[in-house]
Structure formats: C-alpha cells, structure tokens
Chain A
Amino acid sequence: DIQMTQSPSSLSAFVGDRVTITCQASQDIRSYLNWYQQRPGKAPNLLISGASNLETGVPSRFSGTGSGTFFTLTISSLQPEDSATYFCQQFHSLPPGGAYTFGQGTKLEIK
C-alpha cells in the first residue's frame, strides 16, 4: 500500500497566522490526494479533493497544492474554528488491488 507521511504531527499558531501542513506519498500519486478536517468527537470532513479542489462550503482561506509525492494544505488566516486534526488521503491506488490510505494526522491548536 502507498504510505502517506504528514508533518508536523502537531502545531500551535495564533489566530490570523498562515499555517502550512505537508503530506508526502511513498510513490507518485499524481494529484490523487484529498484533505480532511476532523474536529474533536466528530467524523472527518472532506475539505479538498484532487489536491487543490475545495469542496462546497469550505472557506476560501483553505487551499491545497502539490502533485507527485509532495502536497501542502495551507490556511491563509487561521480562525478559532480551524482547531482540528487534518488528514491527507490518497486515491491513486484503490481497491481492488490497492487500498485507500491516510496520513497519520496533524493536530492544529490555537494559541
């Protein structure tokens, strides 16, 4: 299976800061990469698909870039409600024969 590695595992920032989270794939996955936000006690919520496409209703302060093996999620101006854990997920290698795989998560806290 394709391994997804996120960094950092956690970070803390102030409201208004620009924050960037990275995700690295163990092999070329082109742009087949999603980002999810998971608030405490809730299921993950799909934010960005295909590396850079915002899902309906997602604030424009969120953006995603990257292709191949390196991807980033950026929050341009951090808001209190952005406190959550963020996951990347690849869909280059899918079942049958492959599997959806996720990064280990980045926990974002507001200072």
Chain B
Amino acid sequence: DIAMTQTPLSLPVTLGQPASISCKSDQSLVHRDGNIYLSWLHQRPGQPPRLLIYKVSNRLSGVPDRFSGSGAGTDFTLRISRVEAEDVGIYYCMQATQFPVTFGGGTTVDIK
C-alpha cells in the first residue's frame, strides 16, 4: 500500500492569511497512463468529505479559486491563498494511482 503522510497535523491560521498543507507519498504517484491521481478533500465536523482538488491541481467545479494544488512525483501541496472562516475542518490528501486507495492522516485547520 502507498503510505500518505501529511504535515502539519494541526494548522492554526489567521483569517485572511495564506495556509499550506504538505502531503508526501512513499512511492511515486505517477500512474502508467501518465496521470497523477492525487486529490485533496475537506471535511467539516459531522459532514462527509468533499472533493476540492483532483489530479494534483484541478479544482472541482464550484470550489473557490483561493484553493490551489501543486506537486509532482511524491510531494504535493494544498494552498489556501486567504483563509476564510468556512475553511476550518480537516483536510485529507488521497491517492488513487494504485489500489488500495489510501488517505493521508489529515490536517486540522482552525482559526487562531
């Protein structure tokens, strides 16, 4: 199984300031078809996870453009350009390049 490691575990942020979450895999996430199936999900308390970013850097329709994803190979980053109150919750990276699908342990974002 591909192990996904997120840092930090907890991220207190100031409203309006940027935030960044790292996700590293222990194997390359480049699929044999050339795509990288790395996604970012956001989960609020009591809610299901919601897809924000897929294939490293593609925002799902309706996701605010303050969210962006980048990375290659084994190192990936989710950035929020200006944190808003609704952005609190837990962020997960997820790989679907190789089955079984695996998730990072999560990063909890809250407001300072």
Partners in one complex: no
Report B's interface with A, CB cutoff 8 A. none
Report A's interface with B, CB cutoff 8 A. none
